[in-house]
Amino acid sequence: TDFDSRKKRKVAEIYQALNSDPIDVATLRRMAISEGGLLTDEIRCKVWPKLLSVNTDDLPPLPAGKELREDNKDYQQVLLDVRRSLRRFPPGMPDDQREGLQEDLIDIILHVLKRNPQLHYYQGYHDIVVTFLLVVGDRLATALVEKLSTHHLRDFMDPTMDNTKHILNYLMPIIDQVNPEVHDFMQSAEVGTIFALSWLITWFGHVLSDFRHVVRLYDFFLACHPLMPIYFAAVIVLHREQEVLDCECDMASVHHLLSQIPQDLPYETLISRAGDLFVQFPPSELAREAAQQQAERTAASTFKDFELASVQQRPDTVLRQRFRERPRAEERTKSVLAKPRTNRFVKLAVMGLTVALGAAALAVVKSALEWAPKFELQIFP
């Protein structure tokens, strides 16, 4: 079938990128983002370390669990969380195998915390670690999780929740850019963003029951900017626009609706849409709105590696969707004029040109990804 031949082509392309010298990380990123992600766990074992620049030839041996557990201030909390993590293991896995993995899980977490005393454990961290453990095994998982904890997850591992809250502050500005009506409804309901907290800090591992969907998202997030999970969260809310607007406009109802995540989401469509939104409304543009609550350094600011490949930008899909929305948008113009926001139609005209010019698409991606212009607030040095 067509799908099988596409899959074969993709596998071949991934191995070609892995075998080239130097390794073609830009292609691996593109493969991780594009439809289907990295396809198999066998490929993930090879590609995930490359996406995180982890050297697999030189993995440290794991210390004995006993010495890690003695006098560890986090041990009791980690133990409780891991004991409660039954549903994160494949259904039907024999008990003794699962219990062995749970012991590994405790050791990996304590090992990373011991080596990085600046990191603080948070509830939900084990949901990320177990995903790596199940895909790549304990030694490689330890190295990947340590790298991830000092980079993408760094803000969640501060002693306070300040930086995590700051990242959640990006959610409403993204929704506002795409659908002011949903944004205003949520503001009126005073629902806040806490419904998305567990999505963000577990990279959706805690809330999605199908492991295949979890690892597909991990492919995507590992290949992207650390703020991509919050764009994905926004896309889920936008996807549920009708349900949100049909809800009672009060905090309890909207919070209840949004915190129950549907399991049958169209993941590929949403991943592609989150990528579009990242290119159209890069964090640097939303930073001012997000920073009204807090002007703090975040890991997002120190993320240098911007090879979000051109596949990330699919202006044609954005445009088609926008033209469908235009009649509604015109009814809204009056309220939009009253509220200063970036002129989306100017942007779309630019994106229209890239569709026409084709070759310019890459340039647009490159410039969209130049992180944070120097504006007054200077949150991102």
**Does residue 138 lie within any of the structural domains?**
no
Residue reference for tokens 């993941």: 267
**Does residue 74 lie within any of the structural domains?**
no
**Does residue 69 lie within any of the structural domains?**
no
Instruction: Render 101-169 in DSSP notation, one character per residue.
Output: HHHHHHHHHHHHHHH-TT----TTHHHHHHHHHHHH-HHHHHHHHHHHHHTTTGGGGSSSSHHHHHHHT
**CATH at residue 267:** 1.10.472.80
Range of the domain at 195: 161-311
How high is the pLDDT of residue 291?
74
**Does residue 243 lie within any of the structural domains?**
yes
How many domains is the chain partitioned into structurally?
A: 1
**Does residue 27 lie within any of the structural domains?**
no
**Does residue 330 lie within any of the structural domains?**
no
Closest CA to 200 of 158, 166, 239, 240: 166
**Does residue 59 lie within any of the structural domains?**
no
**Does residue 237 lie within any of the structural domains?**
yes
Q: What pTM was estimated for this model as a whole?
A: 0.77
How high is the pLDDT of residue 63?
67
- The pLDDT tens digits along the chain (381 residues) read 888 899 999 999 999 999 999 999 999 999 999 999 999 999 999 999 999 999 998 887 776 667 788 878 899 999 999 998 888 998 889 999 999 999 999 999 999 999 999 999 999 999 999 999 999 999 999 999 999 999 999 999 999 888 899 899 999 999 999 999 999 999 999 999 999 999 999 999 999 989 999 999 999 999 999 999 999 999 999 999 999 999 999 999 999 999 999 989 999 999 999 999 999 999 888 888 887 644 433 444 334 323 332 333 344 443 444 444 444 444 444 444 444 444 444 444 444 333 333 333 333 333 333 333 322 232 222
